[in-house]
Amino acid sequence: MTLWVFGYGSLLWNPGFEVAEQSVATLNGWHRSFCMSSIHHRGTEEHPGLVLALDAAEGATCQGLALRVKPGTEDAAMAELRERELVSSAYLETHCDVTLTDGRNVTTVTYVIDPDHRQYIHLSLEQQAHVISTAVGGRGPNTEYLYNTASHLTELGIEDAELDWLSARVKELTA
């Protein structure tokens, strides 16, 4: 069985599993958003950070990476992903169809926000910048998560105006 995973945040730069193939891919009906309060990886219960999630929106599209898991390592990859992504049940593990840049359509394991979960949050970009500029969690500073994701999107040729704005604003706030 071929296993593909859709990465749109930290999976772009830290998949945590062996990748056999990767391709820029487009997912319809969802957009990348700092809509998840992070109480484990990039913040704490006392001082939550923010991490990216896919939020459903009619007419939206999200570009990210489709990552094909190295054959023979699928079970280990899924165990790692579930331990990491489902730590607080704020993400839902789904299967989504994406279109690769070469035109192929593949079904990917995709982690999307649970809109009914207490960690689902909507803040203005300015509020997001203030949270990200100060939060630190078990996997490090929230700023590192933002900067790594934004720089990898740029390297892949994926434009994300909100992440570019947030990166610039957080750099101002932390200067």
Q: What is the CATH number of the domain that holds 60?
A: 3.10.490.10
Can you tell me the distance from the alpha carbon of 62 to that of 98, in angstroms, rounded to the nearest whole number? Answer: 10
pLDDT digit string, tens, across residues 120-149:
999 999 999 999 999 999 989 999 999 999
Tell me which residue range forms the domain holding 120.
Answer: 4-174
Is pLDDT of 1 > 90? no
One-character DSSP codes across 21-67: EEEEEEEEEEEEEEEEEESSSS--SSS-EEEEEEEEEEEEEEEEEEE
For residues 142 and 38, is the Cβ–Cβ distance under 8 A?
yes
pLDDT of residue 71: 97
Q: For 93-114, what is the mean pLDDT?
A: 97
Cα separation of 143 and 150, whole Å?
11
**20-65 pLDDT tens trace:** 999 999 999 999 999 999 998 899 999 999 999 999 999 999 999 9
Please tell me the total count of domains within the chain: 1
Q: Each residue of 53-97: pLDDT tens digit?
A: 999 999 999 999 999 999 999 999 999 999 988 878 899 999 999
Q: pLDDT value at position 65?
A: 97
Catalytic positions: 85
Measure the CA–CA gap between 85 and 78, rounded to whole angstroms.
Answer: 10
Residue 160 scores a pLDDT above 90: yes
- The arithmetic mean of pLDDT across residues 87-115, rounded, is 95
Secondary structure of residue 87 in the 3-state scheme: coil
Alpha-carbon span 167 to 146, nearest angstrom: 7
pLDDT number for residue 89: 84
- The whole-angstrom separation of Cα 162 and Cα 174 is 18
pLDDT recorded at residue 34: 97
Reply yes or no on whether the pLDDT at 154 is more than 90: yes
Q: 1, 5, 2: which is closest to 108 by C-alpha?
A: 5
The single-letter code of the amino acid at 106 is V
Instruction: Supply the pLDDT for residue 87.
Output: 78
Distance, in Å, from the CA atom of 131 to the CA atom of 69, rounded to the nearest integer, reads: 33
pLDDT at 68: 98
